[in-house]
């Protein structure tokens, strides 16, 4: 009896301390309200829940001991109680898919708007009979994005497995197409960058343009994508911390179950301070103390950047070690220079052959045989089968990050985060633009035309 009431008191304390952090509630009142609503409306489906990032848990366990290529045995894994604890902490900080929260005290309230989040989150509910999304009260994300990107933002919506490339898993917090990356460093995308992706879509992939949405709708969804990314990164940080705790053999006083936040103990508020420390390095790169990431300014292309001489200089650079483009994109630019590349989302689930130390395999960084680590258990927790990332075929003229010369300049000098495509910091501005000119000329070279190109009536044939 006594321990039950102690537990209740501790939970109450925790709620209070979380309120101090700025989190509005532990979700209890929300679920009560939902239950009432359901009683009235007769719905009996469970409220939407975020999925635990089990794939990351497996990856962390695996990396802690790469000599065991198969799954670690149950005794050395995070326990069910530890995983549940991480989920509870995460829910306290970020709420649920129907009722998002923002953890306070880390500068998020001024960076993301609760009002926008609530329009983007939740089930699809219309305010009126407006068939356009303009009448939407909530559920923008679930209506437009979740079938590909998943309710959790894990990139595992029901459509995902059929798409190539797979929809993005936001939880790693890495984004590809942005004007914030410079000087060899990857930054978080600015909201402007995300809006650009929503306006243009990602050509050559299934990611559509959302130009048809209104500006306020896009802006709400953007806040929600950032929220999902920060939530996902926090989850990863919590899993890392839980794992450190779990694999620490020394008996931590009063923490026999090795829980990150001991809800039913006086240590709860200390534990929570620790959690807050984990949040800061996740949040700061996004908020940049309020300004958000800043796009770099790319000076205008020098006159004559796309002249024949410039194209020729670009062609030479393409094959020189300074630019080294051919090593991946191939001698002819069709993307066959490197055939064993993977993106960061996939690398996480690749493993080594038994006996290989990490990184010492025949493929260098990505040691080992991918299929070896991708197995049944990963498939069951929703990890999609790994696919090779091909360097782009530059003869097709398909540029995912945009086909304006400035977009391509940014890809070459800023790189593409999450992929092996490097940001080249050695090139002079002029050389960078020459490479843009060369890349953009490739689709127009005679050899780029398909041999079976249709012959149009009256053109090229005379009978």
Decide whether 61 or 169 has the Cβ nearer to ligand HEC.
169
Taking a C-beta distance cutoff of 8 angstroms, is the pair 78, 246 a contact? yes
Q: Count CB atoms within 10 A of the CB of residue 174.
A: 19
Closest approach of Cβ 433 to ligand HEC, in Å?
A: 11
Q: Count CB atoms within 10 A of the CB of residue 14.
A: 23
Contacting ligand HEC within 384-413 (CB under 6 A): 389, 391-392, 394, 399-401, 408, 411-412
The partner residues of 185 in beta bridges, in order of sequence, read 182
Decide whether 100 or 391 has the Cβ nearer to ligand HEC.
391
Structure token pair of residue 107: 């500068």
- Taking residues 221 to 240 in sequence order and writing x for each that binds ligand HEC by CB under 6 A, - otherwise, the string is x---x---------------
Structure token pair of residue 12: 């109450």
Decide whether 242 or 328 has the Cβ nearer to ligand HEC.
328
Q: Does 209 bind ligand HEC (CB under 6 A)?
A: no
The per-residue DSSP string of 136-170 comes to EEE-HHHHHTHHHH-TTSSS--TTGGG-SSPPP-G
Q: Does 120 bind ligand HEC (CB under 6 A)?
A: no
Contacts of 375 (CB under 8 A, 6+ apart): 70
Q: Count CB atoms within 10 A of the CB of residue 149.
A: 24
Asked if residue 219 has a cis previous peptide bond (ω within 30° of 0), the answer is: no
Closest approach of Cβ 461 to ligand HEC, in Å?
A: 35
Q: Does 113 bind ligand HEC (CB under 6 A)?
A: no
Q: Shortest CA distance to 226 belongs to which of 276, 277, 293, 273? A: 293
Binding test (CB under 6 A) with ligand HEC, winner from 105, 285, 422, 443: 422
Q: Shortest CA distance to 93 belongs to which of 348, 259, 272? A: 272
Stretch that binds ligand HEC, among 41-49, 140-148, 263-271, 441-449 (CB under 6 A): 140-148
Taking a C-beta distance cutoff of 8 angstroms, is the pair 124, 143 a contact? yes
- DSSP code at position 308: H
- Taking residues 306 to 345 in sequence order and writing x for each that binds ligand HEC by CB under 6 A, - otherwise, the string is -----------------xxx-xxx--------x--x----
Q: Does 421 bind ligand HEC (CB under 6 A)?
A: yes
Q: Does 419 bind ligand HEC (CB under 6 A)?
A: yes
Query: Residue numbers of the site for ligand HEC (CB under 6 A)?
Result: 144-145, 147-149, 159, 163, 165, 167-168, 175-177, 194, 197-198, 202, 205-208, 210, 221, 225, 323-325, 327-329, 338, 341, 389, 391-392, 394, 399-401, 408, 411-412, 416, 419-422, 424, 435, 439
């Amino acid at each position: 009896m006594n321990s039950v009431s102690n537990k209740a008191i501790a939970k109450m304390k925790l709620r209070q301390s979380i309120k101090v952090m700025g989190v509005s509630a532990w979700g209890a009142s929300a679920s009560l309200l939902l239950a009432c609503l359901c009683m009235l409306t007769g719905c009996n489906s469970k409220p939407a829940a975020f999925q635990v990032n089990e794939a990351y848990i497996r990856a962390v366990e695996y990396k802690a001991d790469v000599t065991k290529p198969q799954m670690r045995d149950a005794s050395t894994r995070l326990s069910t109680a530890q995983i549940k604890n991480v989920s509870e902490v995460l829910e306290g900080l970020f709420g649920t898919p129907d009722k998002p929260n923002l953890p306070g005290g880390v500068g998020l309230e001024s960076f993301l708007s609760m009002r926008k989040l609530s329009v983007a989150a939740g089930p699809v509910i219309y305010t009126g009979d407006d068939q356009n999304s303009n009448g939407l009260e909530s559920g923008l994300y679930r209506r437009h994005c979740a079938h590909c990107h998943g309710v959790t933002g894990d990139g595992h919506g029901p459509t995902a497995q059929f798409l190539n490339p797979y929809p993005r898993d936001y939880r790693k917090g890495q984004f590809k197409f942005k004007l914030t990356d410079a000087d060899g460093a990857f930054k978080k995308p600015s909201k402007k960058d995300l809006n650009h992706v929503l306006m243009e879509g990602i050509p050559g992939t299934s990611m559509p343009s959302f130009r048809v949405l209104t500006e306020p709708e896009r802006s709400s969804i953007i806040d929600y994508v950032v929220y999902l990314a920060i939530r996902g990164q926090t989850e990863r940080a919590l899993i890392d911390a839980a794992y450190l705790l779990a694999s620490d053999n020394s008996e931590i006083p009063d923490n026999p179950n090795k829980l990150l936040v001991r809800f039913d103990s006086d240590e709860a508020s200390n534990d929570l301070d620790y959690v807050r420390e984990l949040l800061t390095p996740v949040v700061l790169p996004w908020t940049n103390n309020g300004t958000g990431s800043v796009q770099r300014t790319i000076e205008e292309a020098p006159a004559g950047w796309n002249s024949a001489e410039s194209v020729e200089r670009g062609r030479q650079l393409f094959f020189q070690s300074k630019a080294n483009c051919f090593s991946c994109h191939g001698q002819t630019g069709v993307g066959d220079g490197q055939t064993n590349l993977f993106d960061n989302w996939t690398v996480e689930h690749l493993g080594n052959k038994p006996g290989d130390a990490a990184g010492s395999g025949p493929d260098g960084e990505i040691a080992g045989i991918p299929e070896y680590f991708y197995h049944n258990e990963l498939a069951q927790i929703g990890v999609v089968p790994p696919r090779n990332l091909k360097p782009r075929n530059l003869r097709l003229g398909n540029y995912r990050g945009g086909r304006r010369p400035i977009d391509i300049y940014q890809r070459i000098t800023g790189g593409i985060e999450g992929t092996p495509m490097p940001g080249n910091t050695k090139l002079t501005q002029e050389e960078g633009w020459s490479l843009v000119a060369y890349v953009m000329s490739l689709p127009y070279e005679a050899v780029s035309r398909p041999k079976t190109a249709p012959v149009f009536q009256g053109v090229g044939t005379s009978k």
